[in-house]
Amino acid sequence: MENDNHLPDDHTGISPVPESKEDADPKLDSEAEEIKNEETQNEESDPHFDLEKASEDIDEFLSSLTSDDVSVEVLKLVEKYLNLVEQKVSGEGRAKWCQVPDEDSAFLESLDRVSKLTKSLRELKPEEDKSESRGSLINRIGGIQQRAMSYLEEEFRFLLEESKTAESESESAEPEAFPGYSDDVVSGLSKIAKQMISGGYESECCQIYIMSRRNAFEESIQRLGFEKYSIDEVQRMNWESLEREIATWMKAFKQCATVYFPGEKTLADRVFSAEFPSISASLFSNLTRGILIQLLNFVEGIAMTKRSAEKLFKFLDIYETLRDTVPAMDGLFQDECENELKTETNTARSRLGEAAIFIFCDLENSIKADTAKTPVPGGAVHPLTRYTMNYLKYACEYKETLEQVFNEHSKIEQIDPTNSPPFEEGSDTQQQQQQHGFMNRMDNENENQTPFAVQLMTVMDLLDTNLEGKAKLYKDVALSNIFMMNNGRYILQKIKGSAEIYSVMGDTWCRKRSADLREYHKNYKRETLNKLLGCLNHEGLNPAHGKVAKPVLKERFKSFNQMFDEIHRTQSSWVVSDEQLQSELRVSISAVVIPAYRSFLGRFSQFLDAGRQTEKYIKFQPEDLENYIDELFDGNPMSTARRKP
């Protein structure tokens, strides 16, 4: 708003109030200076004439004004009063604002009285010979008012920039400490603002306020560690640096929404709202809107960075911050501004959610792309299984948020399938179809399943298929079953250990997995033990006639020894890292092999000659077998070397 320090032309011939000393009429100023010098001498000789007495006289003049004429005595009274006011306006010897409240009040009262004088002098119609004197006074009043407003500008700026408490400057400031002005300072700001706006200096007042508060606001955010970045700068940052900036952004956004913005709203209302509510709302909106857009630009930049699996969780952290914190700003802004900012915030959150969906869905591609033809040594848990399950476990800690993100995106797609964000450069048609595959699957799934549950089931099915293919890489069928047991057990334990994943997969799925594990276990025992137990078969030894075919008996012991040696040698290097599964396997082997061997040994060892034959063909006692079975699945190929010959 431009200063309105001039008068409209009228029939009185009074000169307009100058906007500066250079614009003043020299003739009028000269006349006023002569009157001023004369009156100053009179004032100095009259010790009883002071501002308080002059103010009383002026108030009496203003209240009793009934004539269109004005006497020379009245003009001289006004001149005396202006001399005293001018001394006040000069600021010589004045304390800073708010230090002497009575002095501040007297100063503002003087300015009010000067404004009333201006209005009264304009309305009077003095005789022609007095008109120039009146015009000179009005001219002088304009200069006084201009200097007074300049002084108020400086005091207003000083209070805004230099009067905050030390507590409000600290990083750990309590919410009630922001923005950190005492009640006296806020009252002083409000009085100055009212005087400046009423005096036609609204533009200057608002400019000082917005600049001072914006600088203070940005300093507060910087103290939290958050730096201002453009969208391009965010996209160029490496992920390690971005992770640190994201943590700082979250802290800054929460602080703004819950502390800084409400604090600024309260300050603007206390300084302006009582007299000028529209100005208060406008200043608050302009100040906070710029800060909020700056914070949202950071989110936009994050959402546009190159997508990778490790970014998912930070994306969801930001999404949750926006979702949970934005409601704290409800009611702070005017309706039009609030709607605009909500749209900006929702757009940023939506883009972040879409990016999170594509990252999560890209887990499908990672599983499909793992086509390595080299089997994992020892049938251990495959790295793909560990990665996928740990990723899902961590992701499902955000289950509520992922459900929300998938649901919102599903609704957008159903309403407008063309509303999807553009694909990344270089992505081929197949990848695009994979990214949108979960939407197509939703059309064929149970209506009770959420989009996120469908996607999670799809990932698990893909992992199963991949592992079945990897199991076929093992030439040893028994080892292939150990591999499936290891991976199946790992998957089942991860799901049972996560209430979030378990709630999605359900009891039926877990029971089916447990049944699969029992089948792998059964297949392993069949492949490993059937031939070994065949050596302990009584058939062909003819024990019923009291004679045993020794060559057959020796071959049985010899074959058993060789087979058990081979099982111990190979399967001690196999890996079963799950202690419970490892124990179950060893116990199940011992429960079958040791009783059968003990029975065979007890019945047929007597038919071997004591000494050489016994030592040659009976290499194991039942206790030895139990010890060697306890070395299986240790992943240690040196176990054989520790066995006695």
What residue type is assigned to position 617 of the chain? Y
Q: Which residues of 213-226 are buried (b: 16+ CB within 10 A; e: fewer)?
A: beebbeebbeebeb
Phi first, then psi, for residue 274 (nearest 5°) are -60, -40
The pTM of the whole model exceeds 0.85: no
pLDDT at 489 over 50: yes
- Interacting residues of 186 by C-beta distance below 8 A, sequence separation 6+: 267, 270, 271
In the predicted model, what is the mean pLDDT of the chain? 81
Nearest to 529 by CA among 539, 537, 517: 537
Q: Residue 518 is encoded by which pair of tokens? A: 């029992």
Question: Does 417 or 633 have the greater pLDDT score?
Answer: 633
Nearest to 556 by CA among 581, 533, 526, 536: 536
pLDDT at res. 418: 45
How far are the Cα atoms of 209, 444, 460 from residue 466, in angstroms, in the given order?
A: 64, 23, 10
- Interacting residues of 330 by C-beta distance below 8 A, sequence separation 6+: 338
pLDDT at 642 over 60: no
Q: If you average pLDDT over residues 232-242, what whole number do you get? A: 93
Assign 267 a pLDDT band (cuts: 50, 70, 90): very high
Task: Convert the pLDDT of each residue in 491-550 to its tens digit.
Answer: 999 999 999 999 999 999 999 999 999 999 999 999 999 999 999 988 878 766 667 888
Q: How many CB atoms lie within 10 A of CB 272?
A: 25
Backbone dihedral region for residue 379 (phi beyond 0: left; psi -120 to 50: alpha; all else: beta): left
Spatial contact of 146 and 19, defined as CB atoms under 8 Å apart: yes
Nearest to 349 by CA among 385, 300, 388, 307: 300
pLDDT at res. 164: 67
Spatial contact of 199 and 151, defined as CB atoms under 8 Å apart: no
What residue type is assigned to position 104 of the chain? D
Task: Convert the pLDDT of each residue in 171-211 to its tens digit.
Answer: 555 555 678 889 999 999 999 999 899 888 899 999 999 99
Assign 321 a pLDDT band (cuts: 50, 70, 90): very high
| Unique residue bearing structure tokens 């409209």 | 8
pLDDT at res. 51: 66
SS3 call for 128: helix
> Which ranges constitute the DSSP H helices of 497-549?
499-534
SS3 call for 634: strand
What residue type is assigned to position 579 of the chain? E
Assign 94 a pLDDT band (cuts: 50, 70, 90): low
Tell me, what DSSP letter sits at residue 635? S
Name the β-bridge partners of 634.
575
Name the β-bridge partners of 575.
634
- Interacting residues of 169 by C-beta distance below 8 A, sequence separation 6+: 180, 223
**Which of 26-40, 86-100, 560-574 has the largest mean confidence?**
560-574
Assign 638 a pLDDT band (cuts: 50, 70, 90): low
Nearest to 581 by CA among 491, 505, 643, 510: 491
Q: Using CA atoms, how far apart are residues 16 and 9, in angstroms rounded to an integer?
A: 8
Q: Residue 526 is encoded by which pair of tokens? A: 């069949």
Task: Convert the pLDDT of each residue in 152-168 to its tens digit.
Answer: 898 899 999 887 664 45
Q: Using CA atoms, how far apart are residues 365 and 436, in angstroms rounded to an integer?
A: 12
How far are the Cα atoms of 73, 253, 440, 544 from residue 141, in angstroms, in the given order?
A: 18, 49, 79, 139
pLDDT at 7 over 70: no
Q: Using CA atoms, how far apart are residues 589 and 140, in angstroms rounded to an integer?
A: 112
pLDDT at res. 189: 93
> How large a percentage of the chain has pLDDT more than 70?
76
Q: How many CB atoms lie within 10 A of CB 260?
A: 22
Assign 8 a pLDDT band (cuts: 50, 70, 90): very low
How far are the Cα atoms of 167, 222, 572 from residue 170, in angstroms, in the given order?
A: 5, 11, 63
pLDDT at 315 over 70: yes
Spatial contact of 605 and 620, defined as CB atoms under 8 Å apart: no
pLDDT at res. 179: 83
Give 442-511 as a DSSP string.
Answer: HTTS-TTS-HHHHHHHHHHHHHHHHHHHHHTT-SSHHHHHHHHHHHHHHHHHHHHT-HHHHHHHHHHHHH
Half-sphere exposure of 39 (CA within 13 A, CB side): 22
Q: If you average pLDDT over residues 235-259, what whole number do you get? A: 94
Tell me, what DSSP letter sits at residue 75? H
What residue type is assigned to position 448 of the chain? N
| Unique residue bearing structure tokens 């640190």 | 244
Q: If you average pLDDT over residues 621-634, what whole number do you get? A: 94
User: Sign of the CA dihedral 119, 125, 126, 132?
Assistant: positive
pLDDT at res. 480: 97
The helix or strand, by DSSP H or E, that contains position 360, with its residue range, turns out to be: helix 335-369
Q: Using CA atoms, how far apart are residues 562 and 179, in angstroms rounded to an integer?
A: 85
Q: Using CA atoms, how far apart are residues 645 and 633, in angstroms rounded to an integer?
A: 21
Tell me, what DSSP letter sits at residue 575? B
Question: Does 224 or 170 have the greater pLDDT score?
Answer: 224
Task: Convert the pLDDT of each residue in 377-434 to its tens digit.
Answer: 999 999 999 999 999 999 999 999 999 999 988 765 544 444 444 434 444 444 444 4
